[in-house]
Chain A
Amino acid sequence: MCGISWVQILSYLTFVIFAVGIASKVIKIYALPIHLRWELYPIPHEKAFSYGGSYFEEVDWWKRPREKNFLNFVKFLFIEILFVRVLYHNNRKMWHLSFPLHFGLYMVIGWLVLLFLAALLLALGLSNENGFILFLQGLATVLGVVGFVLAAVGCVGLIIRRATAEELQGYTAPIDYFNLIFILAVVVSGFIVWLFPDPHFLTTRGYIKSLITFSDAGPLGPGITLHITLFSLFIIYLPFTHMSHFVMKYFLWDKVLFEDDPNVRGGAVESRVAKVLNYKQTWSAPHMHAGGTWSETASRGVGNEEK
């Protein structure tokens, strides 16, 4: 462990903080109580998704087996995440900038995954000249370079649009520009790394291998060090910003907009509802009768004196 540099320590810390940050967000969501239904159609897992239909279209719907098309949901999610389809259909001007940013970042993630895979295989004993390693390295280079460029174009475009479009100006804060500039710095530094010190990302791959094997990373040079530092700081920052919508978007859809599970007698929903109906409410308006449980509140009539 004596050869571990501060950059490597930062990288390990980045991984841990990111994982803990995202996990804590997800755990917080799962820890929230069941909420009343608030779905919005069309819902991809419904069999009548094509026109936005639901099981409520059937007579005696509760007597029929519940059909959920999970594959359709996954398909919807995949297309939405990859291509930002809702934005494409509803705000084309924004999509022209947002899509390159997002797709560029996905390519950068792909670059990182491929480099990691190549580094792992090298650590397991494959040679530098192995055909599969060369293939991974070539593909990673293409993904990385194109990703850096796309994301940078998206960032610059969004900065300009936020600064010039009237409907966005009053709603764009310094922090929004800071976030975009931060991403820009990360991807531009990555592009510079490819351009000058590491045209095939071999040093970068070597660095990742050193992280896997807990060994000395060797000299990185100022360009790669700067890129790794910026990249790490951004990943540490990410879970604590609204940019974590890349994960939370799933919950907004799956747990709210597409959540149409009916309350069936003896079912899981019923027992979760029983629990929350025992929460005590303390709302102050006279008709609320603060201090009672929600169950008591619901079963209470309202007389004149209680308005």
Chain B
Amino acid sequence: MKKNNITVENISDPSIQMADIKPEDLMPLPYPYDTPDAQPPLKKLTDEQKEKYESDLDGFLALKLPKPETKEEEEQLVRQFLGGLKKLLSKENNWTFLMPLLMSLEYCAKCQTCNDACPVYISSGKKEIYRPTYRSEVLRRIVNKYLKRGGRAFAKFTGNEIDLNWKTIARLAELSYRCTVCRRCTQTCPIGVDNALITHELRKLFSQEMGIAPEELHEKGSVQQLEKGSSTGMIKQAFTDIIEFIEEEIEEKTGKKIKIPIDKKGADILLIHNAGEFLSWPENPGAFAIIFEEAGLNWTFSSEIAGYDGVNYGVWYDDAQLARVAVQHVKAAKELGVKKIVVGECGHAHKALMVIADRVLNEDLNIPRESCLPLLADIVVNEKIKLDPQKNNFPVTLHDPCNMVRLMGIVEPQRKILRKIAPQFREMSQQGVTNYCCGGGSGFAIMSSLNMPDWRITVSGRMKFKQILETFQDVIDPDIRKMVCAPCSNCKGSIRDIFEYYDAWEKTGIAYTGLADLIVNAMVDIKGPFIEWPDEM
């Protein structure tokens, strides 16, 4: 049943807020969150924030767009948007995604088959503006009405009725940050139309033409990475200090004295992690160091600009930033003369460096790049290190990061590992290439301004939380410790925030960790457990 009467045309109506997220409308969660009081209230914007920023899409803010002060300013912004849209449809400015974009704009049959595949739409209680087709239809109508010959004359007959004003643009910009670009919708399209791609292209238009992007992705993200070396702001000295800290931690926890190689010329492998791991979960890079050393690999970290931070936020919003960061990654590898780059447990770094930037890194920049997962699987399955699965004898499930699985087809290596090291490994109901996003995809995991985290946790992350709870329903007693293995830094961050918000450890006994951490936890010759449960920290 339809929950509201919002239409595509309403996007230009300044008199309404288009959606209101109420706890009672959200998709129900399983036990022990199946009572109304289990859902904490969502944080609201203050009157001052509402006054200052364009917030009447749904009352949440990813962009913090200031309101134009004059009518002329509004008109100028509309002209700028249309100019950008023309560039988005030109081969010189947008060769990068022109073919997929044109075909997705042209051939949607509007059958709405994709709706039920979208975790955001379903979790929100089916809010109209979150339909995968909604923002695509807005853009399609603008293109058809304002850029095509005769578009205005036949707009009503051809279904392209829409008004283009500043309100339309401001809401469309904000709406482009209500999709995790997980592309589950595309899998279900009988024609192959890609609404997530349209979201991606909208973000690019706003960033590349109008300079509009979330500050966590641009100023504090890719710009900072290119200037300082990491989107976290971590400079070279801080990185080397953290490596020393990790070496000490390894010795303390495992009794192993390991010298982690940095800037080792001629190593076979340059290992690049998401820098968030070094700051939030240093045990994960530590686990990699233990495994690689134990397996006798000739590897190194880099301390050069971007060489120690594998993230590439450009992949979510800006082709130029994507290319610049990717080039820096490869230059760090070239400098060291390594044979290949191995990407650590970070989904978007995988996709950015191995898939999307593959057609940017030409000739001498084309250094082989591979995922850490097959390499780890090779070490574990071929018993290059000694493992005792009984050390991981607790229920474990696997979260499939969209970027590695649905968008890269890396499905089995992580499962081969878990089947070998976790006797109580169990799959989630939707797994492999049909998995659900953690809710933090496309940059949401690091977007933390104002009340955006509440939206991420309760709406975009809701389906993942539901899935995890359902997977462990038979052992949901908090006294039974259980683990979600999430081999992706951003996914871990998103899952961490969901668990904290809902007190998941206290109420269900569910914790999360990375894959390398579980492998080391199962190693025979380490003195104590490598994994720390939340009550042991």
Chain A residues within CB distance 8 Å of chain B: 29, 32-43, 46, 48, 51-62, 80, 84, 86-87, 89-91, 94, 98, 166-168, 170-176, 178, 242, 244-245, 248-249, 251-253, 255-257, 260, 262-265, 269-270, 273-274, 276-277, 279-288, 294, 297-304, 307
Query: Measured between alpha carbons, how far is A220 from B86 in the docked complex, in Å?
Result: 50
Please, which residues of chain B bring their CB within 8 A of the CB of A33? 91, 95, 98-99
Residues B336-381 near A (CB distance < 8 A):
340, 354-363, 366, 368, 370-371, 373-375, 378
| The one of B99, B102, B131, B406 that contacts A41, using a Cβ cutoff of 8 Å | B406
* Cβ–Cβ < 8 Å partners of A80 in chain B: 190
CB distance from A218 to the nearest CB of B (A): 40
Segment 56-94 of B: residues with Cβ below 8 Å from A: 80, 83-84, 87, 91-93
> Bound state CA distance, A307 and B110, in angstroms?
39
Q: Taking A40-B186, A168-B110, A248-B103 as contacts, is the C-beta distance between A288 and B360 under 8 angstroms?
A: no
Q: Do A37 and B191 have beta carbons less than 8 Å apart?
A: no
A129 to B324, CA, bound (A): 73
24 contacts between A and B (CB under 8 A): A32-B102, A37-B356, A40-B194, A52-B433, A53-B410, A54-B409, A57-B412, A57-B413, A59-B378, A60-B340, A90-B114, A91-B188, A98-B190, A173-B159, A174-B158, A242-B106, A248-B107, A252-B192, A270-B363, A270-B366, A280-B92, A284-B208, A287-B320, A304-B227
Find the residue from A40, A89, A282 having the highest chain B CB count within 10 A.
A40
Q: How far is the CA of A285 from the CA of B160 in the complex (A)?
A: 29
B280-294 interface mask toward A, CB cutoff 8 Å, 1 = contact, 0 = none?
000000000000000
Residues A265 and B409 in contact in the complex (CB < 8 Å), given A32-B99, A172-B110, A302-B227: no
From 136 to 164 in chain B, residues with beta carbon under 8 angstroms from any chain A beta carbon are: 137, 156-160
Contact of A287 among B103, B223, B362 (CB under 8 A): B223
CA distance A185 to B112 in the complex (A): 26
Q: Decide if A245 touches B83 in the complex (CB within 8 Å).
A: no
Nearest CB on A from B319, distance (A): 8
Q: Is the interface of B mostly helix, strand, loop or mixed?
A: helix
Q: In whole angstroms, what is the CA distance A249 to B193 when docked?
A: 9
Distance A253 CA – B7 CA, assembled complex (angstroms): 30
Q: How many angstroms from the CA of A90 to the CA of B116 in the assembled complex?
A: 8
Instruction: Say yes or no: B187 contacts A40, CB within 8 Å.
Output: yes
The answer to whether A40 and B406 touch across the interface, beta carbons within 8 angstroms, is yes
C-alpha spacing A86/B323, complex, angstroms: 34
* Residues of B with C-beta under 8 A to A176: 110, 159
CB atoms of A57 and B320 under 8 A apart: no
Contact B327 A298 (CB under 8 A): yes
Pick from A52, A61, A172: contact of B406, CB under 8 Å = A52
Chain B residues near A86: list those with CB within 8 A.
Answer: 113, 188-190
B453 contacts chain A at the CB level, 8 A cutoff: no
Instruction: Identify which of B227, B409, B432 contacts A57 (C-beta below 8 A).
Output: B409
CB-defined interface of B320-338 with A at 8 Å, one 1/0 digit per residue?
1101101110000000000
B8 within 8 A of A: yes
Contact call A58/B374, Cβ cutoff below 8 A: yes
Q: With a CB–CB cut-off of 8 A, which chain B residues contact A285?
A: 207-211
Tell me, yes or no, whether B197 is within 8 Å of chain A by CB. yes
Within 193-225 of B, Cβ neighbours of A (below 8 Å) are at 193-194, 197, 207-211, 218-219, 222-223
Given A35-B99, A59-B378, also A245-B412 (CB < 8 A): no
**Closest Cβ of chain A: how far from B183's Cβ, in Å?**
6
Task: Verify B370–A60 contact, CB threshold 8 A.
Answer: yes
Residue of A nearest to B210 (CB): A285
* Most chain B CB inside 10 Å of its own CB: which residue of A98, A277, A301: A301
**In the bound complex, what is the Cα–Cα distance between A42 and B188 (angstroms)?**
12
Task: Check: B255 CB closer than 8 A to any chain A CB.
Answer: no
B405 interface contact, C-beta 8 A: yes
A98-B111, A252-B192, A294-B323 known; A283 vs B93 contact (CB < 8 Å): yes
When distances are taken between beta carbons in the complex, the residues of chain A under 8 Å from B476 are: none
Given known A41-B433, A298-B323, contact A279–B409 (CB-CB < 8 A): no
Q: Which of B159, B360, B433 contacts A42 (CB 8 A)?
A: B433
Interchain nearest-CB distance for B231 vs A (Å) = 12
Contact A91 B111 (CB under 8 A): yes
Closest residue of chain B to A175 (Cβ to Cβ) is B158
Output the least CB separation between A36 and chain B (Å).
5
The digit string for B1-36, where 1 denotes a CB below 8 A from any CB of A, is: 110000110000000000000000000000000000
Taking the nearest CB of chain A, how far is it from the CB of B170, in angstroms? 17
CB nearest to B409 among chain A residues: A54
- Contact between A173 and B158, CB atoms less than 8 A apart: yes
Q: 19 more A-B contacts (CB under 8 A) besides A40-B183, A270-B366?
A: A35-B98, A41-B433, A51-B412, A53-B411, A56-B408, A59-B375, A89-B188, A172-B110, A173-B159, A175-B159, A245-B109, A249-B191, A256-B100, A262-B358, A263-B366, A287-B320, A298-B327, A299-B327, A302-B223
B370 & A282 in contact (Cβ 8 Å cutoff): no
Distance (Å) between the CB of A282 and the closest chain B CB?
A: 6
Is B258 in the interface zone, CB < 8 Å from A? no
Q: Are A263 and B361 in contact (CB-based, < 8 A)?
A: yes
When distances are taken between beta carbons in the complex, the residues of chain B under 8 Å from A242 are: 106-109
Q: A48-B412, A62-B368, A174-B159 are in contact. Are A302 and B98 (CB under 8 A)?
A: no
- A277 to B91, alpha carbons, bound, how many Å? 11
Q: How far, in whole Å, are A213 and B408 apart by their CA atoms in the complex?
A: 54
Asked if B92 and A282 make an inter-chain contact with CB atoms under 8 angstroms apart, the answer reads yes
B449 at the interface (CB under 8 A from A): no
Nearest-Cβ distance from residue B374 to partner chain A, whole angstroms: 5
* Complex CA distance for A249 and B192, rounded to whole angstroms: 7
Do A297 and B191 have beta carbons less than 8 Å apart?
A: no
Enumerate the 6 nearest inter-chain pairs by beta-carbon distance, A residue then B residue, closest first: A173-B159, A54-B409, A252-B192, A52-B433, A298-B323, A91-B113
Tell me how far the C-beta of B472 lies from the nearest C-beta in chain A, rounded to whole angstroms. Answer: 23
CB distance from B60 to the nearest CB of A (A): 23
Given contacts A41-B406, A52-B409, A56-B370, contact A36 B84 (CB under 8 A): no
What 1/0 mask marks residues of chain B from 370 to 412 whose CB sits below 8 Å from any chain A CB?
1101110010000000000000000000000000011111111
